[in-house]
Amino acid sequence: MQTFTGIEYIKIDMANQYGLDKLTWDARIEFITTNINNLDTLETNAKEPILFAKAKRAYRDATAKHKTGFIMGLDATASGIQIMACLQGCPKTAKQVNLGNTGAREDVYQVVADKMSKIVGDQLYKEDVKKPVMTTFYGSKNQPEEAFGEDTPELEAFYKTLSEMLPGAMECMQDMQKCWQPTVLEHKWTLPDGHVAKVKVLNTVDKKIEIDELDHATYTHRAYVNTPAPKGLSLAANIVHSIDGWIVREQVRKASMQGFELLTIHDSFWASPNFMNNVRQNYLDTLKEIADSSLLEDILNEITGLKGKLTKLSNNLSSTMLHSNYALS
The full set of domain ranges for the chain reads 6-70, 79-182+233-253
Question: What rounded mean pLDDT belongs to the chain?
Answer: 95
Residues 150-161 have pLDDT tens digits of 989 999 999 999
From CA 22, how far away is CA 224, in angstroms rounded?
42
Question: Which residue ranges of the chain lie beneath pLDDT 70?
Answer: none
Spatial CB neighbours of 220, under 8 Å, sequence gap ≥ 6: 206, 207, 208, 209
Closest Cα to residue 271, out of 86, 44, 68, 53?
Answer: 68
- The DSSP code for 99 is S
* pLDDT score of 129: 92
Selecting from 3.30.420, 3.30.70, 2.40.128, 1.10.287, what CATH number does the domain 6-70 have? 1.10.287
* Interval 216-261: pLDDT, tens: 889 999 899 999 999 999 999 999 999 999 999 999 999 999 999 9
For 272-310, write each residue's pLDDT tens digit.
Answer: 999 999 999 999 999 999 999 999 999 999 999 999 899
pTM to 2 decimals? 0.92
Measured CA to CA, the distance from residue 108 to residue 138 in angstroms comes to: 16
